[in-house]
C-alpha cells in the first residue's frame, strides 16, 4: 500500500457534540525560502475536509476537498504545484479543516458510533527540490469563525471572529498566541491520490420570487438543485441570519418535513442543513465551507423587509465536474422533461461520491448507484468518480464477504440491515458497466477478489431450496406496497451478480473462477425456476411488473417460454391501467423487458400516463428533478431529488434511439447463463443502432460519445409508414444499423455503421 506520510496532526479540540460543537481549526505553517525552488509540490489531506491557502491565495481543488470517505477505509490526498505561489523569504501554508466523516456531530448518524471517529486531522508533504516539510508540532492552531460544521446538519459562522485572525494566511502574521498542533496516529485507511473530479459550480441562479411568510422571507430559486447558497450583505454587526431549506410548497407554504428530521435546539433550530451567519458589519459575502445545500426554497430568518431583496442571495448550483456525453430529445415534451429531470437529479447527487439525495442524507446508498450506473455513464463523463468510489466500496467488504448497504459509512454498520443483494450488486454492477460502456477494467481488477468473497457469502444465506432472502426488497414502490417477494428479487439479483462476476473474471483471464461463478448463477436460476416460477403460466412469484420483468431480463425463462412470459407482463401492465407498479429494482427493468418483447408502445404509454403513479405526473406537478417515489400530489412525497428512478433516460438513448454500445457483451452474458460458455464480444468500439421508436413520436434524437468516437441518431417520420434514420458516426467506431422495430430497409436487412440517411418502411 502506498504511504505518502506517517506524520498526521490534529488541533486537539476533540470531535465535539451536537450540544457543544467544536470550531473548525485554522492550521498555519510559516517557512523561509532563500532561493526560488525549481520544484514545489504539496501533497495534502484533511480528515474530513480542508481548504488550502498559500501566501493568502486560496488554491483548494474544489468544494469538500479532498474527498468524502471514512478514513478507516480510504485516506484521500490531493497534489498541488505551489511553485507559482511561493516567494523568496517567508511563506505561509494555511489550512481550515472541516468535520466530514471524521468528526460529525450529526451527519450520517452511523458515523457517530464509528471507530474511525475523532478529532479532525491533516497531513502534508511539501517537496522543495528534494527537501521536505511534513506536519509536526511547529504547525500552529487556532479556532476559526466556523463554530459548527457538519456535512448533513449544516454550518454556523460568526463573521465577527474574523477580526481575530485577519491576515492569518499571509507572511508577517503574529501567531505567537496560537497553540502547537498535536501529533496523532496514522489513519488505517489506504492512502491514495484522489482521482475523482473536483466539485465545481455549474451555473448560478438568482431568485425568481420572494414573499413574506410568518416572521421570515421565502426565496424561490425556480428549480431544485444542489450547491451553495451565497449571501451578499452589508447588514449591521451582530445580526444573526438563519436559513432553512425546502424542495417544495405544501398548500402554498414552505414545507421541509421530508428533508429535515434531525434534532433541533435554540442554537440550531432546523432538523438539517442549518445555515447560521452572524454579521461583522460592512460588505460581506458568505457561503458554507464544509457542507452544501439541496433545495429550491430558502426561508430566511433575521432580515427586514427592506433587506429581503433579490440581490441578497444567489444559488451556486454545483456538482462534481462531469462533462455531458449523451443526450436525448424528441417530439414529446413529457419525455424531454423526464430526460431533464433525470439529468439534473444525477448532477445533484454526484458530489465526490454518488449520493441518494443532496439534502436530508447525502449518503452513498449502494442500490442507488447500482440501478443508476448505466444512465450515469451514458449521459455523463463520470467513470473517474465511480472508479474512485469503488475503492471505498471494496474496502467495505467484510472478511466473511458481507457488504455494507451505504458507502462510506461507519466500519461497523449496515452489514446486517439496510443491505441485501439488490444493494450489494453495486460491487459487480459498476465494474461491469465500466467494462461494457468504457472498456475500463480498473474497477474489475480492483473488485475481483472481493466479488468472489461476496458470492461465497451468498451461498451461506441459501435456504434448503437454494433460495436467498435477506436485507431490503424492491424499495419504494408506489404507495409502499411491495408486490415482488424478497426471496424472488434477492435470488434473481444473485443470478445477475454471479453471471456478471463470471463474465468479469472471464474477461480478466481467470477461467476457473469464471466457471465457478457461472455455476453459482446457474444454481440460483435452477432454484428460482423450481420454486418461484409457475411453469404452466410462466408467471413468477408475486405476479407483478417487477417479478416478471426482472426474470425476463435475467434469463430465467427458456426461449420457448418467453412468449407466455411477455404476455403475462403485458397483462400486469394493463392490469394497473398502464401505471408504474415497481420499486427501484423493477424500474431498472420494466421498460427494457417490454421493448425486448416488442412492446415499446406499452412502455411509452406508462411513461406518459397523465395520472400518478407515472413520470408524466412528476412533470405535470412541476418537478425539476426526479422524485424518490411516484406518489401523487397531496400524498406524502419523500425526496424530490433522487436519481434512482432514472434508467428511463438510458432507455431513451439505447433503446428508443437504439444506440447500443458493446451489444455483443449482453448477448454473451445471456449465452453464458444458458449454455455455460461466453461468446466473443468486440468491446465499446462496437456500436449497433437498434431503434424502438414509439408510434406516437414524430422524431427522436440521441447521441453518445464512446471511448472511440461519437454516434448520433435521429429518427424522423417522413410520412405514415416511412421513417428516416439519420446517423452520424465519427471516430473509430463500427457496427451495424438495423431498421426501427416494425420497419424494414428496402433491399437489405441492415447497413454497416456509417454516417448517412437511411429510409425505413413499415412492415
How far is it, in rounded angstroms, from Cα 261 to Cα 256? 9
User: Across residues 293-317, what is the average pLDDT?
Assistant: 98
How far is it, in rounded angstroms, from Cα 728 to Cα 717? 18
Upper half-sphere CA count for residue 666 (Cβ side, 13 Å): 16
pLDDT in tens, 643-674: 999 999 999 999 999 999 999 999 999 999 99
Domains of the chain and CATH, by start: 8-195 (2.60.120.260), 201-320 (2.60.120.260), 326-334+342-656 (1.50.10.10), 687-762 (no CATH)
Identify which of 706, 692, 700, 696 has the alpha carbon closest to the alpha carbon of residue 658: 692
- Give CA separation, 425 vs 305, 346, 490, 625, 744, in Å: 52, 20, 10, 25, 39
Burial class (CB in 10 A: 0-12, 13-18, 19+), 222: middle
Pairing mode of beta strands 74-81, 190-193 = parallel
Residue 68: all three cell numbers together: 468524502
Phi-psi region of 555 (alpha: psi -120 to 50; beta: other; left: phi over 0): left
pLDDT over 90 at 140, yes or no: yes
* Location of C-alpha cell 450520517: 108
User: Across residues 364-371, what is the average pLDDT?
Assistant: 97
Identify which of 239, 187, 212 has the alpha carbon closest to the alpha carbon of residue 74: 187
How far is it, in rounded angstroms, from Cα 46 to Cα 25? 11
pLDDT in tens, 462-506: 999 999 999 999 999 998 889 999 999 999 999 999 999 999 999
User: Across residues 279-298, what is the average pLDDT?
Assistant: 97
> What DSSP line would sit under 643-696, residue for residue?
-TTTHHHHHIIIIIS-EEESHHHHHHHHHHHHHS-PPP---TTBEEE-----TT
Pairing mode of beta strands 353-354, 179-180 = unpaired
291 contacts 48 by C-beta, under 8 angstroms: no
The strands making up 722-731's β-sheet, listed across from edge to edge, are: 326-330, 699-705, 709-719, 722-731, 756-762, 743-745
pLDDT in tens, 188-230: 999 999 999 999 999 999 999 999 999 999 999 999 999 999 9
How far is it, in rounded angstroms, from Cα 114 to Cα 83? 39
pLDDT over 70 at 107, yes or no: no
What pLDDT was estimated at residue 90? 98
Provide the pLDDT confidence category of residue 733 given band limits of 50, 70 and 90: very high
687 contacts 713 by C-beta, under 8 angstroms: no
User: Across residues 728-744, what is the average pLDDT?
Assistant: 97
- Give CA separation, 351 vs 50, 194, 296, 360, in Å: 15, 13, 18, 14
DSSP 8-state code for residue 440:
-
Instruction: State the pTM of this model.
Output: 0.97
Provide the pLDDT confidence category of residue 113 given band limits of 50, 70 and 90: low
How far is it, in rounded angstroms, from Cα 647 to Cα 666? 17
How far is it, in rounded angstroms, from Cα 723 to Cα 331? 14
Residue 707: all three cell numbers together: 471511448
pLDDT over 60 at 110, yes or no: no
How far is it, in rounded angstroms, from Cα 124 to Cα 105? 26
Q: Dihedral of CA 464/467/473/479: which sign? A: negative
pLDDT in tens, 28-82: 999 999 999 999 999 999 999 999 999 999 999 999 999 999 898 999 999 999 9
User: Across residues 741-761, what is the average pLDDT?
Assistant: 96
What pLDDT was estimated at residue 106? 77
User: Across residues 178-192, what is the average pLDDT?
Assistant: 95
How far is it, in rounded angstroms, from Cα 424 to Cα 404? 7
Residue 433: all three cell numbers together: 458497466
Phi, psi of 121 (to 5 degrees): -140, 165
Mean pLDDT, the chain, rounded, equals: 96
Percent of the chain whose predicted confidence (pLDDT) is above 70: 99
3-state secondary structure of 702: strand
What pLDDT was estimated at residue 18? 86
Burial class (CB in 10 A: 0-12, 13-18, 19+), 390: buried
What pLDDT was estimated at residue 409? 87
Amino acid at each position: 500500500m502506498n504511504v505518502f506520510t506517517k506524520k498526521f496532526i490534529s488541533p486537539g479540540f476533540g470531535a465535539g457534540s451536537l450540544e457543544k460543537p467544536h470550531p473548525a481549526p485554522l492550521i498555519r505553517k510559516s517557512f523561509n525560502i532563500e532561493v526560488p525552488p525549481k520544484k514545489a509540490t504539496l501533497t495534502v489531506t484533511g480528515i474530513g475536509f480542508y481548504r488550502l491557502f498559500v501566501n493568502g491565495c486560496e488554491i483548494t481543488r474544489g468544494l469538500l476537498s479532498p474527498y468524502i470517505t471514512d478514513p478507516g477505509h480510504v485516506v484521500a490526498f490531493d497534489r498541488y504545484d505551489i511553485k507559482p505561489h511561493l516567494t523568496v523569504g517567508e511563506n505561509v501554508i494555511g489550512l481550515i479543516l472541516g468535520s466530514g466523516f471524521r468528526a460529525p456531530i450529526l451527519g450520517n448518524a452511523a458515523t457517530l458510533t464509528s471507530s474511525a471517529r475523532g478529532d479532525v486531522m491533516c497531513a502534508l508533504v511539501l517537496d522543495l527540490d528534494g527537501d521536505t516539510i511534513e506536519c509536526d508540532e511547529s504547525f500552529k492552531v487556532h479556532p476559526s469563525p466556523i463554530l459548527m460544521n457538519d456535512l448533513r446538519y449544516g454550518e454556523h459562522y460568526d463573521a465577527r471572529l474574523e477580526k481575530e485572525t485577519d491576515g492569518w494566511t499571509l507572511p508577517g502574521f503574529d501567531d505567537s498566541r496560537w497553540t502547537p498542533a498535536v501529533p496523532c496516529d496514522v489513519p488505517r485507511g489506504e492512502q491514495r491520490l484522489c482521482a475523482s473530479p473536483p466539485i465545481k459550480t455549474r451555473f448560478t441562479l438568482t431568485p425568481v420570487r420572494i414573499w413574506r411568510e410568518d416572521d421570515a422571507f421565502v426565496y424561490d430559486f425556480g428549480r431544485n438543485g444542489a450547491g451553495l447558497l451565497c449571501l451578499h450583505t452589508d447588514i449591521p454587526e451582530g445580526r444573526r441570519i438563519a436559513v432553512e431549506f425546502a424542495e417544495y410548497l405544501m398548500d402554498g407554504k414552505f414545507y421541509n418535513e421530508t428533508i429535515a428530521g434531525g434534532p433541533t435546539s435554540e442554537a440550531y433550530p432546523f432538523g438539517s442543513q442549518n445555515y447560521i451567519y452572524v454579521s461583522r458589519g460592512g460588505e460581506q459575502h458568505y457561503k458554507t465551507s464544509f457542507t452544501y445545500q439541496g433545495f429550491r426554497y430558502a426561508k430566511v430568518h433575521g432580515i427586514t423587509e427592506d433587506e429581503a431583496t433579490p440581490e441578497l442571495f444567489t444559488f451556486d448550483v454545483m456538482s462534481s465536474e462531469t462533462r455531458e456525453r449523451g443526450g436525448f430529445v424528441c417530439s414529446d415534451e413529457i419525455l424531454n422533461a423526464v430526460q431533464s429531470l433525470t439529468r439534473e437529479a444525477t448532477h445533484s447527487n454526484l458530489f465526490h461520491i454518488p449520493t441518494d439525495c443532496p439534502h436530508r442524507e447525502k449518503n452513498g446508498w449502494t442500490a442507488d448507484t447500482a440501478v443508476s450506473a448505466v444512465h450515469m455513464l451514458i449521459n455523463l463523463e463520470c467513470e473517474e468518480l465511480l472508479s474512485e468510489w469503488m475503492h471505498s466500496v471494496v474496502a467495505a467488504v467484510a472478511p466473511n464477504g458481507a457488504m455494507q448497504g451505504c458507502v462510506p459509512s461507519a466500519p461497523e454498520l449496515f452489514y446486517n440491515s439496510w443491505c441485501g443483494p439488490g444493494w450489494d450488486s453495486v460491487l459487480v454492477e459498476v465494474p461491469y458497466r465500466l467494462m461494457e460502456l468504457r472498456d475500463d477494467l480498473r474497477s474489475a481488477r480492483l473488485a475481483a477478489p472481493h466479488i468472489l468473497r461476496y458470492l461465497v457469502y451468498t451461498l451461506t444465506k441459501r435456504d434448503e431450496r437454494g433460495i436467498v432472502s435477506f436485507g431490503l426488497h424492491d424499495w419504494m414502490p408506489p404507495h409502499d406496497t411491495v408486490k415482488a417477494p424478497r426471496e424472488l428479487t434477492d435470488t434473481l439479483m444473485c443470478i445477475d451478480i454471479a453471471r456478471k462476476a463470471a463474465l468479469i473474471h472471464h474477461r480478466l483471464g481467470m477461467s476457473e473462477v469464471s466457471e465457478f461463478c457461472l455455476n453459482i448463477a446457474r444454481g440460483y436460476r435452477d432454484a428460482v425456476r423450481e420454486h418461484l416460477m409457475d411453469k404452466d403460466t410462466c408467471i413468477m412469484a408475486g405476479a407483478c411488473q417487477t417479478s416478471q420483468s426482472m426474470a425476463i431480463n435475467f434469463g430465467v425463462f427458456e426461449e420457448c417460454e418467453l412468449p407466455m412470459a411477455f404476455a403475462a407482463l403485458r397483462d400486469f401492465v394493463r392490469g394497473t391501467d398502464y401505471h408504474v407498479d415497481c420499486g427501484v429494482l423493477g424500474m431498472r427493468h420494466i421498460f427494457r423487458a417490454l421493448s425486448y418483447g416488442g412492446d415499446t408502445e406499452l412502455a411509452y404509454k406508462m411513461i406518459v400516463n397523465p395520472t400518478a403513479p407515472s413520470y408524466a405526473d412528476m412533470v405535470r406537478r412541476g418537478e425539476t428533478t426526479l422524485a424518490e417515489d411516484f406518489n401523487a400530489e397531496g400524498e406524502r412525497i419523500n425526496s424530490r431529488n433522487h436519481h434512482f428512478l432514472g434508467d428511463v433516460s438510458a432507455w431513451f438513448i439505447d433503446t428508443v434511439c437504439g444506440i447500443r454500445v458493446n451489444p455483443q457483451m449482453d448477448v454473451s452474458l445471456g449465452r453464458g447463463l444458458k449454455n455455460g460458455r461466453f461468446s466473443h464480444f468486440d468491446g465499446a468500439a462496437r456500436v449497433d443502432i437498434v431503434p424502438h421508436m414509439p408510434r406516437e413520436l414524430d422524431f427522436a434524437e440521441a447521441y453518445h460519445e464512446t471511448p472511440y468516437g461519437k454516434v448520433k441518431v435521429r429518427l424522423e417520420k417522413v410520412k405514415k409508414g416511412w421513417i428516416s434514420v439519420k446517423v452520424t458516426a465519427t471516430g473509430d467506431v463500427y457496427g451495424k444499423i438495423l431498421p426501427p422495430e416494425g420497419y424494414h430497409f428496402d433491399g437489405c436487412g441492415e447497413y454497416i455503421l456509417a454516417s448517412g440517411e437511411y429510409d425505413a418502411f413499415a412492415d
